[in-house]
Chains A and B, each alone.
Chain A
């Protein structure tokens, strides 16, 4: 008789068919500080910023939140930042989370990976593949992104320590003007990693500063973004795979979402920021949408506060006339978080994402040149034609 079974991805194994736990995964942004100073980053504050450090949650406060997450049947915690390894209590928090029975997913630039940390990960494995962002294959490109001398050597030293000690990790990239010519080398190297089962994921539609704290940095970030045409060229470089994915995606997620602001999974889980505010998603920091965990609980946020947020409706006429009626909603990155970062509101259309979605839709044959997707009446038919391969794709 079989009593025991392996559950590699229990949170996706259909165990929640009857009722899903209140919280499956909790994101913990341990700090907004980072030892890199990446040109495209939406959050990094200086590593040595003592004022910021003082405001961060204490070790005990983070442990209390993790403990409550476990009581809500949370399976996995994601430790991110900033650079989460900057926190002096990182190892303590990591061991605490693991001993509570949580899997821990770590987002890192790998520059602070040490032999001691690798030894810890060997003894107490995170049970999730660590995710490392790689900024370039050459010192010149890497440090043109990070703007920190020696970060190239530190980052690759960390990666090699993980590799040599067989600590499972995957790599991600940020596509920037200074490293975009290295993609082939990066992917060739990444493909040889034992834990990379897919191509690396990339960020290229960079978010503006999520605290809306630096106009000049925002201007720099905007200048680094791929144009809609460049983005499309990149997305379709493996054309057949892309089309296959898009067909599946379009049949599931493309439809107008009306005036409800939240059409994503935001608020079913959430992200605790470095200061104890619980956000419905990692990017949304609008003061009206965050919940103070220093005076409340995860449970109250998940059962009372976030459900109210999820009922919020758009009021901006521009949004109601365009985004609310647009069937490219699934393809477009427009959401309350992006609106907040770009415009300081929850419901302002973001022109950049609108252009990207329209460019992609034209390529897929979903709209014609000059058409606005929110004016298309027969969108269901068009999606059906595309998913059945009737659409002409240029």
Chain B
């Protein structure tokens, strides 16, 4: 069953991935199966994606994260909130994030 990301939920990186910074490129390397395929898929996040990832620390809700990011990035708060929620949903689907609680 697919977990839906919600604004009031808190998420953190799964223990089944390792993140690496390779020459400024932010890489997510799957450790266990079910994340990507068996044949070498690793993933990279662009700078906006990375800014979101860095705040997915198991303490802040999506709403809080979007609020913090709106101080650093241009854009309407509702658009930023939508982006954070969208990436979180994608990362959850790929099992790179896990839910850590709700507020």
Residues of A within 8 A of B (CB): 1-10, 15-16, 18-21, 70, 73, 75, 98-103, 121-129, 166-168, 195
Q: Does B101 contact A (CB under 8 A)?
A: no
A8 touches B18 (CB 8 A): no
With A1-B86, A101-B18 in contact, do A8 and B40 touch (Cβ < 8 Å)?
Answer: yes
A75 touches B33 (CB 8 A): no
Q: Does B36 contact A (CB under 8 A)?
A: yes
B22 touches A21 (CB 8 A): yes
| Across-interface contacts of A70 in B (CB, < 8 A) | 20
| Across-interface contacts of A124 in B (CB, < 8 A) | 31-33
A4 touches B45 (CB 8 A): yes
Complex Cα spacing A8 to B45, Å: 14
With A4-B43, A4-B87, A124-B32 in contact, do A100 and B18 touch (Cβ < 8 Å)?
Answer: yes
21 contacts between A and B (CB under 8 A): A1-B83, A1-B86, A3-B46, A4-B87, A6-B36, A7-B44, A15-B23, A15-B25, A16-B23, A18-B23, A101-B18, A102-B29, A122-B33, A125-B33, A127-B38, A127-B42, A128-B40, A129-B40, A166-B38, A167-B38, A195-B39
Q: Which of B49-81 contact A (CB under 8 A)?
A: 49, 52
Complex Cα spacing A384 to B65, Å: 59
Interface residues on B, range: 20 to 34
Complex Cα spacing A128 to B86, Å: 30
Set A9, A18, A21: member contacting B40, Cβ < 8 A: A9
Complex Cα spacing A166 to B32, Å: 15
| Across-interface contacts of A16 in B (CB, < 8 A) | 23
- The contact string, 1 if C-beta is below 8 Å from chain A, for chain B 6-33, is 0000000000001110110101011111
Complex Cα spacing A167 to B52, Å: 34
| Across-interface contacts of A4 in B (CB, < 8 A) | 43-46, 49, 87, 90-91, 94
Q: Does B41 contact A (CB under 8 A)?
A: yes
| Across-interface contacts of A168 in B (CB, < 8 A) | 38-39
With A1-B48, A123-B32, A123-B33 in contact, do A6 and B41 touch (Cβ < 8 Å)?
Answer: yes
| Across-interface contacts of B29 in A (CB, < 8 A) | 101-103, 127
Can you add 4 more A-B contacts, CB < 8 Å, to A100-B18, A124-B31? Answer: A70-B20, A73-B22, A125-B33, A125-B37
A3 touches B48 (CB 8 A): yes
Q: Give the interface SS of chain A, mostly helix, strand, loop or mixed.
A: loop
A7 touches B27 (CB 8 A): yes
Distance in Å from the Cβ of B92 to the closest Cβ of chain A? 12
B43 touches A6 (CB 8 A): yes
Set B23, B36, B41, B45: member contacting A3, Cβ < 8 A: B45
Complex Cα spacing A195 to B40, Å: 12
* Among all A-B residue pairs, the 3 with the closest Cβ atoms: A3-B49, A101-B18, A125-B38
Complex Cα spacing A131 to B13, Å: 32
B33 touches A10 (CB 8 A): no
| Across-interface contacts of B33 in A (CB, < 8 A) | 122-125
| Across-interface contacts of B44 in A (CB, < 8 A) | 4-5, 7, 10
| Across-interface contacts of A21 in B (CB, < 8 A) | 22-23
Distance in Å from the Cβ of B42 to the closest Cβ of chain A? 5
| Across-interface contacts of A166 in B (CB, < 8 A) | 38
Complex Cα spacing A128 to B39, Å: 5
B31 touches A99 (CB 8 A): yes
With A15-B23, A75-B22 in contact, do A7 and B43 touch (Cβ < 8 Å)?
Answer: yes
Distance in Å from the Cβ of A131 to the closest Cβ of chain B? 13
Set B18, B23, B48, B49: member contacting A99, Cβ < 8 A: B18
| Across-interface contacts of A121 in B (CB, < 8 A) | 38
Complex Cα spacing A124 to B15, Å: 13
A10 touches B91 (CB 8 A): no
A127 touches B40 (CB 8 A): yes
Complex Cα spacing A394 to B90, Å: 57
Least CB separation from B37: chain A residue: A125
Complex Cα spacing A124 to B48, Å: 29
A127 touches B23 (CB 8 A): no
B32 touches A7 (CB 8 A): no
Distance in Å from the Cβ of A75 to the closest Cβ of chain B? 7
Set A8, A102, A167: member contacting B41, Cβ < 8 A: A8
| Across-interface contacts of B39 in A (CB, < 8 A) | 8, 125, 127-129, 168, 195
Complex Cα spacing A6 to B96, Å: 13
| Across-interface contacts of A2 in B (CB, < 8 A) | 46
- The contact string, 1 if C-beta is below 8 Å from chain A, for chain B 89-102, is 01100100000000
Distance in Å from the Cβ of A195 to the closest Cβ of chain B? 7
Distance in Å from the Cβ of B85 to the closest Cβ of chain A? 12
Least CB separation from A15: chain B residue: B25
| Across-interface contacts of A7 in B (CB, < 8 A) | 27, 41-44
